[in-house]
Amino acid sequence: MKHFILTTTIGALSLAGVAFAHAEVSNPVVKDRMELMDTIRGSFATLGGMAQGKVDFDAEKASAAQATLVEAAAKIPAAFEPNEMDPESKALPAIWDNWDDFVIHATALEGAADALDPSSLDTIKAGVGPIGASCGGCHQAYRTK
Ligand code: HEC
């Protein structure tokens, strides 16, 4: 019981940390795109967690996470198109210098997310690799470390 309370507290604290980080962002355009990335992170964490055995496999939850991921990926170009900055942002100016390439990375994520088959644990395991690679590919080029 004690352990449960401790884990829950730590969980709540880290969630609060995320909300606080966004509260520091004054530019609403930047805040929105960070929140979109958080949605992407959350749905990918569900699928990745199942693949790693950290989250129980549930085809319905997997399907919902996949749908959220595909939908959010489709919103990346519109969310990043305005060339806006904020001191809290990790976006690199290269995004707007190489806009077409940035959109290709967004489309790659959407395609990889769409290709995942959420109906079984095996197909989820096969599908998360290409999704993770597309996150990394874009962050490598367009986000500060
Ligand atoms: C098309 C490029 C692109 C793709 C694909 C992409 N990201 Fe991002 N991501 C970015 C950029 C750029 C930022 C920095 C945004 C900022 O700080 O203004 C970012 C920021 C983030 C953040 C930090 C958000 C915050 O609150 O500051 C997380 C988490 C994240 N991405 C997760 C992911 C995950 C997980 C995937 C894949 C499932 C992914 N991203 C795919 C470009 C991308």
Lowest mean pLDDT among 2-16, 31-45, 75-89: 2-16
Number of folded domains in the chain?
Answer: 1
- Indicate which CATH number applies to the domain containing 53: 1.20.120.10
- Contact call for residues 130 and 115 (beta carbons, < 8 A): yes
pLDDT at 86: 96
Q: Which two tokens stand for residue 90?
A: 């990790």
20-34 residues labelled b (16+ CB within 10 A) or e (exposed)? eeeeebebebbbbbb
* pLDDT tens string 35-63: 999 999 999 999 999 999 999 999 999 99
Lowest mean pLDDT among 56-60, 69-73, 79-83, 141-145: 141-145
Q: If you write DSSP's letter for every residue of the chain in order, what string do you get?
A: -HHHHHHHHHHHHHHHHHHHHHHT---HHHHHHHHHHHHHHHHHHHHHHHHTTSS---HHHHHHHHHHHHHHHHHHHHHH-S----TT--B-THHHHSHHHHHHHHHHHHHHHHH--TTSHHHHHHHHHHHHHHHHHHHHHHB--
Of 40, 70, 88, 134, best ligand 1 pocket probe by most atoms within 8 Å of the beta carbon: 40
Would you tell me how many other CB atoms lie within 10 Å of the CB of residue 53? Answer: 10
pLDDT at 56: 97
Q: Is the CB of 25 under 6 A from ligand 1?
A: no
Name the residue with the closest Cα to ligand 1, atom 40. 135
Checking phi first, is residue 53 left (phi over 0); if not, alpha (psi -120 to 50) or beta? left
Asked whether residue 115 carries a pLDDT value surpassing 60, the answer given is yes
Average pLDDT, the chain: 89
Query: Annotation-wise, does 3 bind a ligand?
Result: no
* pLDDT tens string 100-111: 999 999 999 999
Q: Which residue has the tokens 């959420």?
A: 118
pLDDT at 142: 98
Residue 5 CA to ligand 1 centre (angstroms): 31
Quote the domain boundaries for residue 102: 2-142
Split at pLDDT 50, 70, 90, the class of 21 is low
Of 80, 96, 128, 139, best ligand 1 pocket probe by most atoms within 8 Å of the beta carbon: 139
Average pLDDT estimate for 90-99:
98
Residue 37 CA to ligand 1 centre (angstroms): 5
Residue 92 CA to ligand 1 centre (angstroms): 11
